[in-house]
Chains A and B, each alone.
Chain A
Amino acid sequence: EVQLVETGGGLVQPGRSLKLSCVASGFTFNNYWMSWTRQAPGKGLEWVASITNSGGSTYYPDSVKGRFTISRDNAQNTLYLQMNSLRSEDTATYYCTRSNGGSSFDYWGQGVMVTVSS
């Protein structure tokens, strides 16, 4: 059974940093691209970052480029999201997702809440 378990969320002040982790199990982690997608309270979904299966390439939308860094440790089956210079608009539930089938997101974690507020 595929499982994605996120940790690391919480309350953080604007301008500070936070690092999310996602431990994957039930599949061969290093065979898949992985991604982070977020959802602000009461709002829709926004893709945040993706990383190739080897970790050699990463992709971001302009809204987080230069502030967020996605990375992975294939030996530990773990995906990370380092978030710097956090803003109030980064407040959201962050989901770890597996990319498959034409870059759809075929499995999602339960999500972790990040609140950016003073």
Chain B
Amino acid sequence: DIVLTQSPALAVSLGQRATISCKTNQNVDYYGNSYMHWYQQKPGQQPKLLIYLASNLASGIPARFSGRGSGTDFTLTIDPVEADDTATYYCQQSRNLPWTFGGGTKLELK
């Protein structure tokens, strides 16, 4: 199975940049696409897709969110951070079955 590793928590100030990382133990690239996706989950709510295929913004997601990376190293950036962005962020790979998620990074405000 592909293992995705995220830092458990990150604290940033309002208006600053937040960079959340996700590292995999296997390459998730395939024929020019990186099969990495990012989700936001607020307490008591279902997850929401933010970024698909590493860098594509999902429908309705503000341009403050962006994703980049390839191979085994990926990042989700939020710039600038707003109060409403406090949540847990998960990465997910769909390169190989079983599809797997990272453990999540909880974003808090300083």
Q: Which of B41, B46, B101 is the one whose CB lies under 8 Å from A46?
A: B101
Report the Cα distance A110→B46, complex, angstroms. Answer: 6
Among A66-74, A80-88, A96-104, which stretch is in contact with chain B?
A: A96-104
Is there an interface contact between A44 and B90, defined as CB atoms closer than 8 Å?
A: yes
Contact A101 B46 (CB under 8 A): no
Which of B10-18, B52-60, B73-81 lies at the binding interface?
B52-60
How big is chain B's contact interface, by range?
A: 20 to 34
B69 adjacent to chain A (CB < 8 Å) = no
Contact B103–A102 (Cβ < 8 Å): no
Tell which of B41, B52, B100, B101 touches A102, judged by Cβ atoms closer than 8 Å: B52
| A114 smallest CB distance to B (angstroms) | 15
Q: Which residue of A lies closest to B103 (CB)?
A: A44
The answer on a CB contact under 8 Å between A108 and B94 is no
Known: A101-B53, A101-B56, A102-B35. A108 touches B100 (CB 8 A): no
Indicate which residue in A45, A59, A62, A106 contacts B101 across the interface (CB closer than 8 Å).
A45
A44, B102: Cβ atoms closer than 8 Å = yes
Q: Residues of B contacting A102 with CB < 8 Å?
A: 33, 35, 37, 52-53, 94
Residues of B within 8 A of A (CB): 33, 35, 37, 39, 41, 46-49, 52-53, 56, 58-59, 90, 92, 94, 97-104
